[in-house]
Amino acid sequence: MFGLIGHLTSLAHAQSVAKDLGYDEYAGQGLEFWCMAPPQIVDEITVTSITGQVIQGKYVESCFLPEMLAAKQFKAATRKIINAMVYAQKQGIDITALGGFSSIIFETFNLSQIRQVRNIHLEIEKFTTGNTHTAYILCRQVEQSCLKFGIDLAKATVAVCGATGDIGSAVCRWLDTRTDVKELVLVARNQERLYQLQSELGRGKVMAIEDALPIADVVVWVASMAKGMEIDISSLKRPCILIDGGYPKNMATSIQVPDVYVINGGIVEHSIDIEWKIMNIVSMSAPARQLFACFAESMLLEFEGWHTNFSWGRNQITIENMDKIGAVSIKHGFRPLIA
Ligand code: NDP
């Protein structure tokens, strides 16, 4: 059985979802309440592969909210993730994806040191960040959207916002070795890590996002921002493709102007309807088929019987593992969303 540990994007989002799902006691509550709330299984899932194989899974809501980081409620944030992992393990789930901020909190607060929680020994090999599949899907979205919208990668500048992160660094490595992209622009806050990445790649211009947007033909957004940023639409190159893989979304600005193509980044579409309710609450246009690539990774590991932490630690994603997860993604009927 596979598991998905997820969270909602804001307190307001959590309150409205709680109301819709019939958890009235959660709906009117503020952040303090969510800090205390235990993890819950809110969905049972059945997925069918195009090979005919059928698997079962569970969705665990961790009750973490990004506002906990802004309010410096770090203890509550880390407790949410550890408790959700313990809960998943107690359910007998073989492989569970740590969605969105779950894996970021795990790494940032060094939670791998916590192996014993009350009477439970945390078996970290039963968890995956899902970031290898997410990075693979984002790279395919770059390639396929360039083809669709007539941008030639060999003449293009691709900016990666969040370049030094787990997903961003893998995207940079892939674009560097697997495509003929003309220029890579590396964006993040910590300059030392940016120059380390530049020296690892042997290329890439380090820039601030405001300087990158006017020259980028493609922007891959994979920064771990608790809240999306406003961007100046008039500064964008035309045409350009913006692939927002953040959760919550990195871009707060809604963009509907000619020659600017916005893609829902890190999202896959399955070939067969999935039996679940959970994707209705995160505004997917086809919730029975569209899902986060990290969640799909735990499904793929379950389909293949690879009950192992396929994606783990920071900045260790290899091109070989992106190929491996990409091959089984295609085999089971998932494809990158190009909206
Ligand atoms: P990491 O924490 O490993 O990396 C985050 C990156 O963002 C770092 O390079 C960091 O560098 C940079 N960053 C953070 N804040 C800012 C900022 N304000 N401006 C510019 N850069 C910034 O995160 P992951 O790679 O694990 O995840 C990245 C994003 O992808 C998250 O939003 C996550 O929720 C999302 N995600 C989506 C998935 C999907 O299935 N679609 C799956 C998993 C994750 P620095 O701190 O130096 O700025």
pLDDT in tens, 245-261: 999 999 998 899 999 99
pLDDT at 151: 98
pLDDT in tens, 125-142: 999 999 999 999 999 999
pLDDT band at 23 (very low <50, low <70, confident <90, very high): confident
In three-state secondary structure terms, 251 is: strand
- The CA 225 to ligand 1 mean position distance, Å, reads 7
pLDDT in tens, 313-338: 999 999 999 999 999 999 999 999 99
Task: Please give the mean pLDDT across all residues of the chain.
Answer: 96
Does 339 fall in a domain?
Answer: no
pLDDT band at 277 (very low <50, low <70, confident <90, very high): confident
pLDDT at 40: 93
Does 317 fall in a domain?
Answer: yes
- In this structure, the answer to whether residues 326 and 278 fall within a common structural domain is yes
Does 309 fall in a domain?
Answer: yes
Domain boundary among 212, 244, 267: 267
> What CATH number does the domain containing 249 carry?
3.40.50.720
- The verdict on whether omega for the bond into residue 66 sits within 30 degrees of 0, i.e. cis, is no
- In this structure, the answer to whether residues 255 and 301 fall within a common structural domain is no
pLDDT at 302: 98
Structural domains of the chain, count: 2
Locate the ligand 1 atom nearest the alpha carbon of residue 209 and give its number.
20
pLDDT at 137: 98
- In this structure, the answer to whether residues 61 and 164 fall within a common structural domain is no
pLDDT at 97: 98
Binding pocket residue ranges, ligand 1, CB within 6 Å: 100-101, 103-104, 130-131, 134, 161-168, 187-190, 193, 222-225, 245-247, 266, 292-294, 314
The number of beta carbons lying within 10 Å of the beta carbon of residue 170 is 26
Q: 0.85 exceeded by the pTM?
A: yes
pLDDT at 178: 97
- The CA 233 to ligand 1 mean position distance, Å, reads 22
pLDDT band at 98 (very low <50, low <70, confident <90, very high): very high
Place of tokens 């039996």: 275
Does 37 fall in a domain?
Answer: yes
Which amino acid is it at 144? Q
pLDDT at 316: 95
pLDDT in tens, 47-90: 999 999 999 999 999 999 999 999 999 999 999 999 999 999 99
pLDDT at 22: 85
- In this structure, the answer to whether residues 239 and 254 fall within a common structural domain is yes
Q: Tell me what the mean pLDDT of segment 239-244 comes to.
A: 98
- The CA 224 to ligand 1 mean position distance, Å, reads 3
Domain boundary among 267, 302, 322: 267
**Structural contact between residues 182 and 241, judged by C-beta atoms closer than 8 angstroms:** no
Q: Tell me what the mean pLDDT of segment 11-20 comes to.
A: 91
328 token code pair: 């089984």
- In this structure, the answer to whether residues 230 and 323 fall within a common structural domain is no
Q: DSSP letter string over 55-83?
A: EEEEEEE----THHHHTT-HHHHHHHHHH
Domain boundary among 267, 296, 317: 267
- Asked if pLDDT for residue 282 goes beyond 90, the answer is no
- The CA 28 to ligand 1 mean position distance, Å, reads 30
- Asked if pLDDT for residue 160 goes beyond 80, the answer is yes
- In this structure, the answer to whether residues 176 and 119 fall within a common structural domain is no
- In this structure, the answer to whether residues 44 and 145 fall within a common structural domain is no
Residue range of the domain that includes 294: 2-131+269-331
- In this structure, the answer to whether residues 247 and 288 fall within a common structural domain is no
pLDDT at 25: 85
To test the pocket of ligand 1, the residue of 211, 219, 222, 249 to mutate (highest count of ligand atoms within 8 Å of its CB) is 222
